[in-house]
Structure 1
Amino acid sequence: MFETGDKIVYPNHGAGTITDIEKKEVLGETKKYYVMQLPIGEMRVMIPMDNVDDIGIREVISSDRVDDVFQILKGEKSEMSQNWNRRYRANTEKIKSGDIFEVAEVVRNLTLRDIEKGLSTGEKKMLSNSRQILISELVLAEDKDKEEIEEEIDEIFFDTEEENEEDEE
């Protein structure tokens, strides 16, 4: 069980801080909910406490694991299906897993693909969503603001793009 003040990850939504525990009556049934505040977009999410295990709620990674996330972002693009639909489904599963390392892989692969070939509208939206999920957890793990984390991520891909251009010369 989590408590007020705990930093958690809600798969497919991102990371946030539990600000409250509320009881709500829905369809004549009273249930307890975690109230989670996301650091990006000032969004509040209510999570039914009796579904926490099924949903896959977990604690935010520790700050000493952040370097592992950045190593994934700096890594080589992994093999992805050329079929848009299969690629989209595989990436969706990784995002739904709630595993920050899988989300980082999606961000890396889609960003590199976007730089190389461009992305469809659906994959652009997926990249944007997976970036937000990744950034929300890194903001809480590192206790930095959104802009700092975005800049660190962008530097990885901007530097990678420059190196590729130098290699081609």
Structure 2
Amino acid sequence: MEVDYLFQIGDKIIYPMHGAGVIEGIEEKEIQGQTQKYYVIKILMNNMQVLIPIKNVTNLRIRSVENKISMENVLDIVHQGESDRSLSWKQRYQINSDKMRTGKLQEGAEVVRDLTRIQNEKTLNSSEKQMLQNAKKILVGELGLIRGITEVQATDLLKTIING
């Protein structure tokens, strides 16, 4: 029986809320008496390995890394885009949480842009600080994979783009 996999070994992916990774393998494992196939994913930022049941990949919104053109368009939006400063922190936190859950490149980049701009003006609360760190980690990881640069280089590039 031939199985059609969404990803292949070596594919670069984004696992929302965890960051950029690479599919290192596809394994069949028995866990709690149930045998199923898993993607073996190496999450690059913390050098962690995770097993994701293949049947859960779409529900978890795991996606392929975007291409250079998409990344350039998103970075342009980050640089040029406007931030809504009229929202209360609770409203902003809810909107940003929803954006992060989508796993989409542009949504995550907007969170980084907006929270960084606010942080440049005043101190973020601990929840928003944590969200900003996670959003940056994911964006920097994807930027590094697309451009073929290190985490430090990607972080510096992102700072330059956001701060203009």
**TM > 0.5 fold call:** yes
**Cα 1:157–1:64 shift into 2, 3 Å:** closer
The amino acid across from 2:91 in the alignment is R
* Structure 2 residues not aligned, in runs of 5+: 1-5
Whether 1:91 and 2:96 are equivalent positions in the alignment is yes
Post-superposition offset of 1:135: 0.9
- Cα offset, 1:5, TM superposition: 0.3
Q: Return closer, same or farther for 1:80/1:24 CA change in 2, 3 Å cut-off.
A: farther
Q: Distance in 1 between matches of 2:105 and 2:93?
A: 18
Matched residues, number: 159
Residue 78 in structure 1 maps to residue 87 in structure 2: no
Look up the match of 1:165: none
Name the counterpart of 2:66. Answer: 61
1:44 aligns with 2:35: no
Deviations 1:116-154 (A, max 9, x none): 122111111110010001111111111111111101011
What is aligned with 1:17? 22
* Contact 1:5–1:17 under 8 Å retained in 2: yes
Q: Which moved more, 1:80-89 or 1:95-104?
A: 80-89
Structure 1 residue 80: deviation in Å? 5.1
> Does the aligned pair in 1 maintain the 2:79–2:161 contact within 8 Å?
yes
Amino acid of the structure 1 residue aligned with 2:26: I
What is the root-mean-square deviation in Å for CA atoms of aligned residues? 1.5
Which deviates further from its counterpart, 2-11 or 103-112? Answer: 2-11
5+ residue gaps, structure 1, are 161-169
Compute the displacement of 1:77 (Å). Answer: 3.4
Match of 2:141 among 136, 139, 158: 136
Output the amino acid matched with 1:35.
V
Percent of aligned pairs with the same amino acid: 40
Aligned partner (choices 112, 123, 126) of residue 128 of structure 2: 123
Residues 30 and 125 of structure 1: CA distance in aligned 2, closer, same or farther (over 3 Å): same
Does structure 2 conserve the Cα–Cα contact (< 8 Å) formed by 1:77 and 1:112?
no
The answer as to whether partners of 1:72 and 1:108 remain within 8 angstroms in 2 is: no
What displacement does 1:39 show?
2.1
TM-score when normalising by structure 2: 0.90
Pairwise CA distance, 1:113: 0.4
CA change 1:157–1:78 in 2 (3 A) is closer
C-alpha distance in 1 between matches for 2:122 and 2:67: 35
TM-score (norm 1): 0.87
CA deviations on 1:100-129 (whole Å, 9 max, x unpaired) are 100000000000000012211111111001
AA partner of residue 124 (structure 1): K
Q: Does the alignment pair 1:152 with 2:157?
A: yes
Q: Distance in 1 between matches of 2:66 and 2:78?
A: 16
